[in-house]
Amino acid sequence: MGSLKSSVFILVLHLLEGVLSNSLIQLNKNGYEGIVIAIDHDVPEDEALIQHIKDMVTRASPYLFEATGKRFYFKDVAILIPESWKTKPEYERPKLETIKNADVLVSVTSPVGEDQPHTEHVGACGEKGLRIHLTPNFLAGKKLKEYGPQERAFLHEWAHLRWGVFDEYNNEEKFYLSKGKPEAVRCSAAITGENVVRWCQGGSCVNKGTCRKDKLTGLYGKDCVFLPDKQQVEKASVMYSQTIDSVVEFCTEKNHNKEAPNAQNQRCNLRSTWEVIQGSEDYRQSTPMTTQPPTPTFSLLQIAQRILCLVLDKSGSMIDDDRLNRLNQASKLFLLQTVEQGSWVGMVTFDSAAYVKSKLKQIKSAADRDLLTKSLPTVPAGGTSICSGLQAAFTVIKKKYPTDGSEIVLLTDGEDNNIGACFDLVKKSGAIIHTVALGPAAAKELEQLSTMTGGLQTYASDQAQNNGLVDAFAALSSGNGAASQRSIQLESRGANLQKDQWMNGSVIVDSTVGKDTLFLVTWTTQAPQILLWDPSGTKQSGFVVDPATKMAYLQVPGTAKVGHWKYSLKASSQTLTLTVTSRAASATVPPITVTPVVNTNTANFPSPVTVYATLRQGVSPILRASVTALIESVNGKTVTLELLDNGAGADATKNDGVYSRFFTAFDTNGRYSIKIRALGGITTDKQRTLPQNGVMYIDGWIENGEVKFNPPRPETNTVQDKQLCFTRTSSGGSFMASNVPSAPIPDLFPPCRVTDLTASIQGHKLVNLTWTAPGDDYDHGRASKYIIRISTNIADLRDKFNTSIQVNTTNLIPKEANSEEIFEFELEDDSFGNGTDIFIAIRAVDKSNLKSEISNIARVSLFIPTEEKSTSNDTAPLCPDVSINSTIPGIHVLKIMWKWLGEMQVTLGLH
């Protein structure tokens, strides 16, 4: 239960680096404060889990301290405990801490069911991640063999979360050619070990012998793995395998393996993890300590009932553009549907003064909801005193509960020169303030209130057909509620209709939702004709019509039928909107959700805004959906932006259920609102969607010269792609743009960086390249040309790109952004010898001669095939020889036959 997108309580306002994080973390004199570790609703009560969390962080703090050159340590951590667990005297009430803004989520669910620690990181190199995911099994030490000590794994994930670095291993490409010889992907390259063939069956693995090179590629077969020596002297790197005892540092510029094909090199332009950390705000604000850090302190906070007060503007300007009536429509949706059962809700209105319309009232029934709607303001008049409204809300809340952890929804369309006078009061209150800016003149300080308290900031224009105000209130679901309790918006659309026009369409109610389904219709002049049919074709009746507020709604009894609900709305010369919301059909089947994120709440032209939307069903990503962002400026102009999950441009990883795009179509300074729409998609084989940015699964070790394998990863059943039919809409909040020049706006946006360049070689000289086309403006439009250069030195290609060998691209005409590009070129005859590594990079150029950043660097290695008879591992023994002690000839023969059959399976490719 609770509300929205929560974020940061800070005594000093500051801008967050990278992806807009809701984190409360601050660095205070080398110590990280405000870390929130939340235990999810699905975790059974287990008091030992709290101690496991404490132990992990306590042990991780000195490891962090040493790994960062005595710069950082964990100072204090809040552990958020589910409401369903038993209450205890030592459990306090949360303030700004919510599950939604937690830095670490402990949940029994994992994307592949194997307890792998991992981090959501949707942004670019150096941008903060969103959240670390851990499981109770991992915290209890049940996965030490697979992932190593908890505290070391936690530091690996902390580096993803806080500094935006990436993994230095590669599950998909474990080896690469360097000077004609296969090398294991690792960092640093000084990590020692052996390459062995690992064959697993029945939950155990055996050594099939020494890896052999493929005679055509020079690389090892897919069953070959690199096992590090248990005893090492190399100290780097944490982002490769922090489980190695000697590893206590991050790779630096001196020992970083630039050639390894891993995410760190690809995403961070060959920079080492320590170089990226050195570029962070944390590093710039700190100096090494000369004393040992203190032990972390912990606070135990238990989620409680939601306490919320609406603070609504009823000033004279609210008569403009039908704002007051639209406020009533949106507030009624919130009170009738969005706010969760059991919540405590109060109401205050304000103009030049404040008026308490309702003390805190617990929502237990539909009657309680109806009673609250009767307190909504109906007559606009007076000035705008925002502080008066906030002060009255605190008074309403304090009559029953402390203000710590309470929420305020503040809506205004006006300015208030005295709003700064209540900032200190707000900071001290411990309350979360969600702001709704209505119209073009709403106070510019509203965003400061949201930022300093971790609230959601939204903006709604006066274009009623965009339904922005209803969307803003629909987004105010709880930051602490279980997924099954949250209101989910299925549809939000509107239209300006002329004489006797119809607004027709359908809404999909999928099998994951259907409970508490509400259809809401609003209008501007007179009630329209409303027709609605369920998926069986039965016409629905029973709409409750509220002519005063100009709205009608239908609450579908029970669970709405799965399928297409068709509607037809007829009206003349007015604006209609339709909103459909629902809840999860079952507490045990997670609903499909869309979660919007932007990389900043303050856009400074010409820096683009990156818009993300995460589609999930529980922890499983939804792929191949149609996802669009509708971005509306204060001028009323709306831009439709298709978001993509293609691993190019703004999108970090292909097919991970995170859809992304750059926004560059600024037309004015001021607020921009974001709405996300998603339609359809598939759930897919989990084995193809292993989480990115996680701790490496340990295949095994070389210990005292002996190969010791760990059990294999748990096998996942291969399932067919399942088509999902669903619709979702969600408010993505708002951002503020500044320094946008007057029209015509100059072209200051270069093409985006190519991040997925791959290369292969045929024979000894024909190089094939593939990549995703960038655009003229980041990932929009069409670039004018490409510059492709090669070098035999990877660092020179990055640092001296303009003087490296240029490839002839005369016939290479760029395609439209996000298209697949394919290009091939020949190396000059006899220019490069066998075993030569060739590195390749691209820059795109637009019509204004603006150049993209240098792409990720692809490589090919010239390898002349040998005449070896066989280069596969198929002739290696299936299992180590087993001594046969039985004296029964029949059994001896059976064992020989079993071994022979196993070898045949390998030969035939059946294993």
- The b-or-e profile of 410-432 (16+ CB within 10 A means b, else e) is bbbbbbbeebeebbeebeebbbb
Closest by CA position to 731, among listed 672, 785, 786, 776 = 672
The position carrying tokens 């409360």 is 24
C-alpha dist (Å) from residue 73 to 132, 149, 191, 587, 689: 17, 18, 27, 39, 33
For residue 508, list its beta bridge partners.
564
The set of residues, in sequence order, having a beta carbon less than 8 Å from that of 797 and lying 6+ positions away, is 789, 790, 791, 804, 839, 840, 841, 854, 857
Active site residue 157: yes
The position carrying tokens 């510059």 is 787
Rounded Cα gap, residues 492 and 583, in angstroms: 16
SS3 for 646-682, per residue? CCCCCCCCCCCCEEEEEECCCCCCEEEEEEEEEEEEE
Do the Cβ atoms of 403 and 430 come closer than 8 Å?
yes
Closest by CA position to 408, among listed 416, 422, 444, 418 = 422
Closest by CA position to 429, among listed 307, 601, 298 = 307
Rounded Cα gap, residues 644 and 661, in angstroms: 7
- Longest Cα separation, the chain: 103
C-alpha dist (Å) from residue 126 to 271, 279, 353: 11, 8, 46
Do the Cβ atoms of 493 and 577 come closer than 8 Å?
yes
Strands 609-617 and 620-621: antiparallel
SS3 for 714-758, per residue? CCCCCCCCEEEEEEEEEEEEEEEEECCCCCCCCCCCCECCCCCCE
C-alpha dist (Å) from residue 571 to 306, 378, 521, 542: 40, 25, 12, 19
- The b-or-e profile of 548-557 (16+ CB within 10 A means b, else e) is ebbbbbbebe
The set of residues, in sequence order, having a beta carbon less than 8 Å from that of 853 and lying 6+ positions away, is 269, 753, 843
Do the Cβ atoms of 414 and 348 come closer than 8 Å?
no
Question: Which helix H or strand E contains 139, and what residues bound it?
Answer: helix 136-139
The set of residues, in sequence order, having a beta carbon less than 8 Å from that of 836 and lying 6+ positions away, is 179, 180, 792, 861, 862
Q: Which amino acid is at 308?
A: L
Q: Provide the 10 A C-beta neighbour count for residue 367.
A: 9
φ/ψ (deg, to 5) at 602 = -135, 105
Do the Cβ atoms of 863 and 218 come closer than 8 Å?
yes
Q: What does the DSSP assignment read for 585-618?
A: S-SSSPPEEEEEEES-SEEETTSPEEEEEEEEET
For residue 621, list its beta bridge partners.
616
The set of residues, in sequence order, having a beta carbon less than 8 Å from that of 584 and lying 6+ positions away, is 483, 484, 485, 486, 488, 512, 513, 515, 590, 591
Which SS3 state, helix, strand or coil, does residue 762 take? strand
Strands 307-313 and 344-350: parallel
Strands 407-412 and 432-438: parallel
The position carrying tokens 């000590």 is 149
Strands 837-845 and 354-362: unpaired
Candidates 97, 151, 157, 407; catalytic one: 157
> Which residues are known catalytic residues?
157
